Structure 1
């Protein structure tokens, strides 16, 4: 745990009592603050009380007694309207911050040599965070990883000299961290998302930009117009030597880019290979090339950078993230891939682009707006589709006359049928679970759906699993 001592002896309100909220309250209490916890949910209040934390209904509170309100990222700060706690705090002149801000304040107070890499972006931030942490650990660096990726950042190991922190940051967390000052800030990309919480794409991009604007060194993708503008601003204000532009496009003007399956550094008119992604199944596809470029740029930007050899070696051993283009194993020539995290067509597009042909595609679930019509240009890569869940008839209508398909209904039936058909195919077939749908018609979340697929694959005869089975 990272004890927060910057508010010792002060009264602090913590609102939003999920895992990160309770971790924040504990870190504040351990650091000597007088903490009062609250939540709109009775379950949240009960969880905090069970953890030994002081709880209260803050609706009738005297807000002037609080130094700050620490707000959980999931609670609206600005849109569609500020939460009632935010309005009450601001009326009383009380700052509203989040756990990322507390982390940064404590890091400055302790003044250790604690390199901090913060990573954000609409897509790819979890993989980039995990990859960055993996390479640091492989290089022998003491490394803690958390934030939006899983472990609450204040539950990470305490600060000590030389310990590296790799933090995935959502736009909600950044919005609550006005003094965010990473050693290296990474902004991968900006596409329309979370507009219900930020109002407009311009507001959303501006929030994302805060992470790199406050960083000592910045890594910024330049494959979308919002990030290109942010990179240009950073170069003008910080200087070109403090900014590395990254791109997955071979023709892009950038400093670290993808070229023929390799990650390369382009500086001073020369191109230097950093890493070769050939054969690294966990980094398959153009989207993962962008993640690899961002990781390499971040690690080259550290106060004590990794070498190209350390970066190249670490990438070859990266296992990938569960449910994100996760290679499960082989049955003969057939590769099985778990991409259950692909809950919309945009995510599934990246999966389909990762394989040129012979895809035996399992898809369906609770459909999103637009369905899979946007994926039509990639249907020629699909040998056959296997439909499950509520989306079956909608997707069947889209596929009709373009792709052969079976109505399977359930994941177990689809997995068995896809494995059978792939085994009879030539070439290098892949059975791909990339649903382009939410899971809620049949599974609690995409992780449960992905776990179910892994178990079904592990039970196939003659399967050679990469992750030790179910």
Structure 2
């Protein structure tokens, strides 16, 4: 745990008592603060009480006694409307912040010799894989690395800091909206496409949230920017004009006069006087496809920004074991292979998996994002069957009508069973792919729970087949 500094002897309101909120509460108390905890969900309140916390109903509390509101990132800050806690905090002049901001202030308050290196990663797609990949390269290079944020462990639950540590943090746009003082030695913006617009109002609001990751950087810092989309190109151009930090453009689709890029799976470094081949990513079994090539380019650039030698970073890229819930093979039953891509919570993320296989039995659906799956129409010929679940099933079925066979399965278990039966009946090598192109919150607590449910459904099929054999 990282004890939070700066609120000693004062009371911080904490709203939202899932993983992030409870970790923040523990860290605040460890740093000498008092906390007033609340959640609208009775189960979350009970979980807090089970950890020894006393609850405070923030709807009737005296907000003038709070030094800050620690808001969990899933709680609306501005759109579609500010949450009632946000309104109360603003009316009382109470600052609103998130767990990353608490971490940032604690780092900034530490003596310089105790401050760790920080790598902060954001983007619409690829954040988790890139975060894990950078962490892997750092660990293999002998660095004392801690990986967390929006992936795995919340930042304040990570091991406490020292001057030789490296924190590799995935950061969502929700977290960035609540962050103002983070100074990252290396920042990564992988890509930007429409997502979470209901939370940011429009694309300008979404992009503004992503750009906050660049705040507070200066001379000696590194910014790695994906330039394969128009928003990334624009950000790269604008911060290049500022001419403060080292800026490294990355691309997985084109050669560049300056930057790091991948062509046909080969990684090139053109940040020096001449471009040279770094590594053949086709040898990296856990990094298939153009989207993973971009992730690898970002990880290589970030590693260099931390002072890891280029040849060493390239070597460690090739040994990356992969990430759970991102194009993760989970089982093979006969000629049918099951792939867990639950992390694909929007259409652009699902595109990466769909484009990696010539034919799939596709499980999709959940809480749909703006635009649904219409942008995937060019990949519908690859869909041997679509098995739709959750709130988005009807809308997805309408989009797929007359373009692919559709089954509105409703539940994930039903979708897995039907997709397997159809794949097995084909008599060919087949892929059953969970790549939902939608959020999980209609049926699951998060994408990880959805992925684990998929794994469990596949295991149940395997046991049934063994029992029948």
Matched residue, 1:69: 69
Change (3 A) 1:271 1:457: farther
Name the structure 2 match of 1:417: 422
The 3 A distance-change label for structure 1 pair 360 and 68 is closer
Question: Aligned match of 1:289 in 266, 289, 293?
Answer: 293
How far 1:213 sits from its partner (Å)? 3.0
Aligned twin of 1:121: 123
Tell me the CA shift for residue 396 of structure 1: 6.9
Q: Does 1:177 align with 2:182?
A: no
Distance of aligned partners of 1:5 and 1:347 in 2 relative to their CA distance in 1, 3 Å threshold: closer
User: Residues 81, 311 of structure 1: CA spacing in aligned structure 2 closer, same or farther, 3 A cutoff?
Assistant: same
Match of 2:385 in 1: 385
Q: Please give the per-residue CA displacement for 1:316-357, whole angstroms capped at 9, x wherever unaligned.
A: 2222222211123556876542223335443322112123x3
Partner-residue secondary structure (3-state), 2:286:
helix
- C-alpha spacing 1:32/1:295, structure 2 compared with 1 (3 Å): same
Give the Å deviation of 1:132.
1.1
Q: Is there any run of 5+ residues in structure 1 with no aligned partner, and where?
A: 463-470
Match of 2:435 in 1: 434
Distance 1:437 1:13 in 2: 32
Matched residue, 2:241: 236
Tell me, in whole angstroms, the C-alpha distance in 2 between the residues paired with 1:269 and 1:152: 40
| Residue 205 (structure 1) shift | 0.7
Shift of 1:223: 1.9
Q: Name the SS of the counterpart of 1:56 in structure 2.
A: coil
- Provide the rounded CA distance (Å) in 1 between the counterparts of 2:36 and 2:393: 49
Q: CA 1:344 to 1:89, structure 2 compared with 1: closer, same or farther past 3 Å?
A: closer
Query: Residue 62 and residue 113 in structure 1: after superposition, are their counterparts in 2 closer, same or farther (change >3 A)?
Result: closer
Deviation at 1:103, TM superposition (A): 0.4
Matched position secondary structure for 1:23: helix
The answer to whether the aligner puts 1:327 opposite 2:332 as a matched pair is no
**Alpha-carbon distance in structure 2 between the residues aligned to 1:193 and 1:90:** 27
Counterpart-to-counterpart distance in 2, 1:195 and 1:350:
21
In structure 1, distance between residues paired with 2:274 and 2:365: 49
> How far apart, in 2, do the equivalents of 1:167 and 1:373 lie?
32
Root-mean-square deviation (Å) = 3.0
- Single out whichever of 342-351 and 395-404 deviates more from structure 2: 395-404
2:259 counterpart residue number: 255
Which residue does the alignment assign to 2:161? Answer: 159
Q: 1:317 to 1:461 in 2, by over 3 A?
A: farther
User: In 1, Cα distance between the equivalents of 2:393 and 2:104?
Assistant: 48
Q: How many residues get paired?
A: 452
Provide the C-alpha distance between the structure 1 equivalents of 2:59 and 2:366, rounded to a whole number of angstroms: 38
- Name the CA shift for 1:413/1:56 in 2 (closer, same or farther; >3 Å): same
State the distance in 2 between where 1:9 and 1:453 align.
50
Aligned-pair CA distance for 1:65: 2.4
When the two structures are superposed, what TM-score results if normalisation uses the length of structure 2?
0.86
* Cα deviation, residue 182, structure 1: 0.9
Q: Is the CA contact (8 Å cut-off) linking 1:117 and 1:167 kept in structure 2? A: yes
Q: Secondary structure at the match of 1:214?
A: coil
Q: Does 2:52 correspond to 1:52? A: yes
Q: Which residue of 2 aligns with 1:465?
A: none
Q: CA deviation at 1:21?
A: 0.7
Partner of 1:275: 279
1:25-46 deviations in Å (ceiling 9; x for gaps): 1111111112222233333333
Assess, with a 3 A threshold, how the Cα gap between structure 1 residues 221 and 438 changes in structure 2: closer, same or farther.
closer
Deviates more, 1:207-216 or 1:366-375: 366-375
Aligned 8 A contact 1:143 1:166 in 2: yes
Select between 322-331 and 116-125 the one with higher mean Cα deviation. Answer: 322-331
CA shift at 1:297, angstroms?
1.1
Write out per-residue CA displacement over residues 155-208 of structure 1, whole angstroms, 9 at most, x where no aligned residue. Answer: 110112311111111112111111111111111122122222211211111111
Q: Aligned-pair distance for 1:433? A: 3.5
Aligned to 2:148: 146
User: TM-score, normalised to structure 1's length?
Assistant: 0.86
